[in-house]
Structure 1
Amino acid sequence: MRWSKLAAPALWFLGGVASALTAGRVGRAQRPGRRVRNERRVDLASRLDAFEHVTDSAGIGLYFWNMATDTLTWSQHHYAIFGYDPALPASHAMFRARIHPQDLDTVDAAVDLALSSRSDYLVRFRVQLPDGALRYVRGSGRATYGADGRPAALNGAVIDITETTEAVHATRQRELDLATVAANLPDIINRYDRQRRCLFVSPRIEALTGQPAAWFLGKTHEELGLDPVLAARWSAVLEDVIRNGTMREFDFAHVGADGVERFYITRALPSFGPDGRVETVLTISTDHTEREREARQLRLDGAMLEKADLRKNEYLATLAHELRGPLAPISSAVQLLGLSDQPAVREKARGVIERQVAQLASLVGDLMEVGRISSGKLAIERARVQLRHVIDQAVEASKPLLDARRQALSVELPHEDAWLDADALRLVQAFSNLLTNASKYSPRGAPVAIQARANGKHVEIKVADQGIGLTEEAMRDIFDLFVQVNPTGVQAQGGLGIGLSLVRQLVELHGGSVAVHSAGLGQGACFTVRLPLGRPQADLPLPHATPTPPARGLKVLVVDDNADGAQTLAALLDALGHQAVTAFNGRDAVRLAAEQAFDLAFLDLGLPDISGIQVALTIRGTARGKQLPLVALTGLGRDQDRYLTQAAQFTEHLVKPLAMDDLLRITEAVAARRDAGTMMQ
């Protein structure tokens, strides 16, 4: 029979004792036997009062249920736990009314099992008070049985365990929260005991090491097979925290299961036991790989900037040296022209000026080429060309220097024709730079060789010398911009340190590569260029300029705010048989173009009042100026400058200084069209 269906309880034992205590009075004339019994009753009552005080103080509520008489008695604290007025008579219904509905079946099952098995019962359940508050209770009891074997009484106790239960729940929730945080944080959280054994590690460790968290438990870093140096660092930090009870921080690097090196900052925090000693050590390892990589990159960038700044200073000093070099003989030649009337002397001075101006123009041209390539604005014009023609042109360009230094040049080319899909002019520039470099850094009389061999779909061209050679460090940097070998030493050969950088970039624009090898200082050097071969095609010789007689009789407008430049060009035009008119600002140029008929005009772009672009647009807006050939002659040679002159309908864009070949070409073409009755568009 279920206990919930039995009769209501009664405190038969305690009630009987209480009745006995209140039944008789002990008088003076009582017989000795009765007096002893009364003393025992008083002693028992005193003991029961003490027992009830102890149970109430301990938070224990007592109940006594006589199943036969269906009477129930609760102690004072029992009423308090269940939230009832002690004046109310206790009943089984009152007890069940306070049990949380979800716990009724649990309580019934525990008591029924105890009755059927004649054992004690112990059950935890919740008490729900009228105001909605919950109390956690632990109930226990034992049944007594009658002669017929049926339960006669059920006596027991209830204890309010709310505070303890809530503390346990709070602790468990904190543990769950910590576990959730540890599982989702990128940090690795560990706890170690005083023997430095791992007590806990967050699941994040598996993603980094490939081992589950359980694999680490109970092991020291040495037992985990960690790198001995790193394991010793961990041990030292943990020992220090355990010994001194203070937080420690350290950083370390570790290669994970994915083979990637990561960097961590670890904080080790002491946890103290009741005795004040460090009981465990909690460590939090934060991955700061990205920050470390950024810091390393910043250090690397700083070193590179410092190196670049050093190179810049060296370059500026070299540039000043290279510019002063041509300027000195030009200045001397100018003075010589003013002091001597002898034709031979004047011709020699003219030759000096011409050569040095060409050198200056070459320096500026190289700088412009580097700028175009570095900004990705240099376009190469590919065509089918023979390697033999490219090498021949490069040798021809380098021959004067080789002859001047009495250096024999050996050329070895493939027997069969090797064709390239390339810009012949740019490759000639690259190979002539390599040959010139080989000559400059070789002693006088030392041979230079160029050798080409086809290899499958590529051709390899080697330029070798027996010169000063290169160190390992020099070979690493030799193709960088503004890098020179022995820029200021006894073997310095001048230049801006851009020739080999140009070679590399021009070769790479053709889909090729260039490398250098040297056995060391004094052992010479060999530069190897590797280029893709193109399909064979009929032999097409490289175009070259054909000397033509200068044009005659043109009327030319020369506009430049540099009076020396304008007047010198005008004098040169006059010497060639033309009539030159000069203007030193834009407004005068516009006025002269409107007043006079010109066959050709050279315009500087950087004028003091209005720009050369505005001058051109104004001239083009007049009837007379629509067909006038306009040549931009300027120090501005960037792509954006050329776009502007093209938009302003300039016929041609030339960069100062003006080469004689260009002057002859332009004046001849203008004269030819004029004589044919047409003008250059």
Structure 2
Amino acid sequence: MQWAEVAGPVLGFAAGAGAAWLLSIIRRRRTPATPSSTSAAERRAGLASRLDAFKHVIESADIGVFFWDLARDSVRWSQRHYVIFDWPAGTPVTHAMFRQRVHPDDLAEVDATIKTALRDRADYAMRFRLRLDDGSIRYVRGSGRVDTDGNGRAAGVNGAVIDVTETTIAQNATRQRERELAAIAMHLPDIICRFDRDCRCVFMSSRIMELTGQAPESYIGKSCGDFKLPADVAARWSAVLESVMRDGAPREFDFTLVDQHGSGHFFITRALPSFDPEGRVESVLTVASDHTERERDARQVREDGAALRQADRRKNEYLATLAHELRGPLAPISSAAHLIRFSTDRQVRDKAREIIERQVAQLAGLVNDLMEVGRISAGKLDIERKPVTIQTVIDHALESARPLFEQKQQPVAYRLPPTPLWVSGDLLRLTQIFNNLLANASKYSPPGAPVAIDAGVDGDKVVVHVRDQGIGLPASVVDDIFELFVQVHATGIHAQGGLGIGLSLVKQLVELHGGCVTVSSEGAGRGSCFTVVLPLAAQPAALPLAVPEAPAVVQAPLTVLVVDDNVDGASTLALLLEALGHTAVLAFNGVDAVARAADHRIDMAFLDLGLPDISGVQVALRIRATPRGRELPLIALTGLGREEDRHLTSAAQFDEHITKPLQLDDLVRVTQAVARRCAGRSPV
């Protein structure tokens, strides 16, 4: 089919883009009207000549033109039209053949569009797909105009088709890429953007809304300067984008931004170029990752590192002090033991015994302070709150500290109001607070220097001052004096020993009671004043009457199983039991202990927990599994005094948990209780 064969019908086509454009050109370039004598053949030849002149324009635009004759149901196509539909040139074409080429999924829409155009005598334009014989898909854009006959009926359709496959595939790929990017961005905590060649935003992830409160769509088409960023941040963004566009190389930068709630965020951003087929940068993808937590953690790590170095220094000082403090009691204990061994003088032996008892008490106090601090730090120290007067607390504390003041001949002045000042607290722990403060005042005051304690009310608070005229505190250490293991005078002429635990313990116990403690000093050599503030409590309506203790019952002889892998510890406890009139059965490991309990009719057992073969808990469970051992009193005597250790022995059905060293009073109390149980037991 010649190109000119469809030229005539095309002239009547105004809706198709290519043909309409061609028609306008023809009309603009039309020559002046020919004389009436010009024949029709000459006019057709002139028109064909002009059409040939513009044929290359249509073909270069890849436009296929057609005319569909409705009466004959025949379609005349241009050469380009055959190429687009992949049919041999000159093949007779019908509308049914055209429909066979249309993709089945698009056929209904194409039929409906053409039907509507024929009914309304209207122009149409649509996009649809062709499915070729080899199964490939081609995207086209078709348009047409309905021609009518003299009666106004539809006679045919002039139209054009343009192959838009490459453009559509590129657009689909772009849209698919943006959909994938959006899908990924929805599940990422990062802020993802894409900028075009003009550095304008073409995509923004939804994460931006959490940060700024603005919808992602509000950023589309805007540059960084329009994002309402701080001027310095916007300038940095713009400079990085321009650099990536210019150089085609990725860039990384960081910035800080305050979100809509006023919280600061630290971002690290990667700017990545995307290239077109010619290798030019067509867009820049930015991924801004929120590293606020990581930066905060890094800062915390740096701060923790400094704190750890400080703690390590204090630990080393503490260990050195602990070694010194432990060696102190050990030396007189060792000497006193030698005196008892070699001296026959009763007074010397009694003096040595007193030394050992005093030094052991000092060692036990050091260990107990350490355990107290550990329990408080772990939040496992329970205090029993009851109404108590501050006068009672101070009286108990003065009674405990009196030997210190008498030894150094230090007068103590105390001034307490006549009206009881009530607080809600644990009498033992409150007494411990003021006992430590009074002992501290005595320790760091010279012999004969007075110490004062007074109490009063300030609003709804009870305020107690402990003053001394001792060596005082430098201003530089006042803020650190309550820290654990801190000793202002650890060495030198003012060194008084100790582990630096007492004041830390005071602070934590005061805070457990809802109060606070502070210290003030006018400087070195000018004394110190510790101030404790506690909440004032209402006076109770009535106090329970004290029930007098029952008189001590004379002990009956007991047979006691002593289990400890420390031979000296087990042997000395056995000697103490025998001195009290009891019989001791010794075992130095767990298996032997279970055997001794089965072979001997014992009345009670002291069990160490850390045995070399099986633990004391396992020993207790095995003893409890026997008929005779179900009611046997079991006492855990161990160096393990943590709260979890006590829970463990309680679960193993121990009757009591006592930490070493065992005090004589505890030994007498426990054996008396067992003796009373044995006395009340019916004989078998």
Same fold? TM cut 0.5:
yes
Match of 1:325 in 2: 328
Residues 540 and 410 of structure 1, relative CA distance in 2, 3 Å threshold: farther
**Alignment partner of 1:533 out of 525, 529, 537:** 537
Tell whether 2:269 aligns with 1:266: yes
Query: Is 1:418–1:536's contact at 8 Å kept on the other side of the alignment?
Result: no
- Once the two structures are overlaid, the 10-residue window that deviates more, 61-70 or 238-247, is 61-70
Match of 1:250 in 2: 253
Residues 135 and 346 of structure 1, relative CA distance in 2, 3 Å threshold: closer
1:428 Cα offset (Å): 1.2
Query: C-alpha distance in 1, partners of 2:118/2:599?
Result: 126
Match of 1:401 in 2: 404
Residues 143 and 400 of structure 1, relative CA distance in 2, 3 Å threshold: same
Residues 655 and 217 of structure 1, relative CA distance in 2, 3 Å threshold: closer
**Alignment partner of 2:479 out of 461, 475, 479:** 475
Q: How does 1:507-656 map to 2 (within 5 A)?
A: 507-509=510-512, 511-518=513-520, 522=524, 524-531=528-535, 533=537, 535-536=539-540, 559=562, 562=566, 564-565=568-569, 568=572, 578=581, 583=586, 585=588, 614=619, 634-638=638-642, 654-656=658-660
Query: C-alpha distance in 2, partners of 1:127/1:632?
Result: 89
Query: Is 1:512–1:532's contact at 8 Å kept on the other side of the alignment?
Result: no
Residues 279 and 469 of structure 1, relative CA distance in 2, 3 Å threshold: farther
Aligned-partner residue type, residue 365 of structure 1: N
- Once the two structures are overlaid, the 10-residue window that deviates more, 558-567 or 607-616, is 607-616
Query: C-alpha distance in 2, partners of 1:551/1:257?
Result: 78
Classify the secondary structure of the residue corresponding to 2:488. Answer: coil
**Alignment partner of 2:286 out of 274, 280, 283:** 283
Aligned-partner residue type, residue 393 of structure 2: V
1:265 Cα offset (Å): 1.6
1:138 Cα offset (Å): 3.5
1:312 Cα offset (Å): 3.8
Query: C-alpha distance in 2, partners of 1:619/1:214?
Result: 75
Query: C-alpha distance in 2, partners of 1:71/1:122?
Result: 20
Query: C-alpha distance in 1, partners of 2:196/2:421?
Result: 76
Q: What are the Cα deviations for residues 92-127 of structure 1, in whole angstroms up to 9, with x where unaligned? A: 7766886744234545666898x89xxxx6844547
Query: C-alpha distance in 2, partners of 1:105/1:579?
Result: 113
Q: How does 1:18-33 map to 2 (within 5 A)?
A: none
Query: Is 2:481–2:488's contact at 8 Å kept on the other side of the alignment?
Result: no
1:496 Cα offset (Å): 2.4
Query: C-alpha distance in 2, partners of 1:270/1:422?
Result: 69
Aligned-partner residue type, residue 320 of structure 2: A
Q: What value does the CA root-mean-square deviation take over the aligned residues?
A: 5.6
Match of 2:440 in 1: 437
Query: C-alpha distance in 1, partners of 2:501/2:196?
Result: 65
Query: Is 1:83–1:129's contact at 8 Å kept on the other side of the alignment?
Result: no
Classify the secondary structure of the residue corresponding to 2:331. Answer: helix
Query: Is 2:410–2:449's contact at 8 Å kept on the other side of the alignment?
Result: yes
1:165 Cα offset (Å): 3.9
Residues 174 and 459 of structure 1, relative CA distance in 2, 3 Å threshold: same
Residues 47 and 284 of structure 1, relative CA distance in 2, 3 Å threshold: same
Residues 221 and 476 of structure 1, relative CA distance in 2, 3 Å threshold: farther
Q: How does 1:199-214 map to 2 (within 5 A)?
A: 201-212=204-215
Q: How does 1:211-226 map to 2 (within 5 A)?
A: 211-212=214-215, 226=229
Query: C-alpha distance in 2, partners of 1:627/1:62?
Result: 110
Classify the secondary structure of the residue corresponding to 2:260. Answer: coil
Match of 1:461 in 2: 464
Tell whether 2:109 aligns with 1:102: yes
Query: C-alpha distance in 2, partners of 1:550/1:534?
Result: 40
Give the structure-2-normalised TM-score. 0.71
1:359 Cα offset (Å): 0.7
Tell whether 2:322 aligns with 1:315: no
Query: C-alpha distance in 1, partners of 2:300/2:539?
Result: 45
Match of 1:136 in 2: 140
Query: C-alpha distance in 1, partners of 2:187/2:600?
Result: 85
Aligned-partner residue type, residue 404 of structure 1: Q
Aligned-partner residue type, residue 494 of structure 1: G
Query: C-alpha distance in 1, partners of 2:651/2:65?
Result: 108
Query: Is 1:439–1:448's contact at 8 Å kept on the other side of the alignment?
Result: yes
Query: C-alpha distance in 1, partners of 2:625/2:119?
Result: 115
1:324 Cα offset (Å): 0.4
Residues 545 and 636 of structure 1, relative CA distance in 2, 3 Å threshold: farther
1:53 Cα offset (Å): 7.7
Query: Is 1:616–1:630's contact at 8 Å kept on the other side of the alignment?
Result: no
Q: What are the Cα deviations for residues 493-545 of structure 1, in whole angstroms up to 9, with x where unaligned? A: 32223323433444444x42333244685373524242462542556799999
Classify the secondary structure of the residue corresponding to 1:264. Answer: strand
Tell whether 2:496 aligns with 1:493: yes
Query: C-alpha distance in 2, partners of 1:447/1:290?
Result: 55
Query: Is 1:512–1:530's contact at 8 Å kept on the other side of the alignment?
Result: yes
Query: Is 1:12–1:66's contact at 8 Å kept on the other side of the alignment?
Result: no
Q: What are the Cα deviations for residues 132-151 of structure 1, in whole angstroms up to 9, with x where unaligned? A: 856514446797999x9999
1:266 Cα offset (Å): 0.2
Aligned-partner residue type, residue 327 of structure 1: L
1:391 Cα offset (Å): 1.3
Query: C-alpha distance in 1, partners of 2:365/2:113?
Result: 101
Classify the secondary structure of the residue corresponding to 2:455. Answer: strand
1:250 Cα offset (Å): 2.1
1:247 Cα offset (Å): 0.9
Query: C-alpha distance in 2, partners of 1:445/1:372?
Result: 37
Aligned-partner residue type, residue 400 of structure 1: P
Aligned-partner residue type, residue 456 of structure 2: R
Query: Is 1:386–1:539's contact at 8 Å kept on the other side of the alignment?
Result: no
Residues 578 and 260 of structure 1, relative CA distance in 2, 3 Å threshold: same
Query: C-alpha distance in 2, partners of 1:448/1:193?
Result: 81
Query: Is 1:12–1:65's contact at 8 Å kept on the other side of the alignment?
Result: no
- How many residues end up aligned between the 2 structures? 638
1:209 Cα offset (Å): 1.8
Structure 1: tracts of 5 or more residues without a match: 1-8, 15-37
Query: C-alpha distance in 1, partners of 2:447/2:374?
Result: 33
Query: Is 1:478–1:484's contact at 8 Å kept on the other side of the alignment?
Result: no
Q: What are the Cα deviations for residues 75-103 of structure 1, in whole angstroms up to 9, with x where unaligned? A: 44444545666566556776688674423
1:325 Cα offset (Å): 0.6
Q: Which has the larger radius of gyration?
A: 1
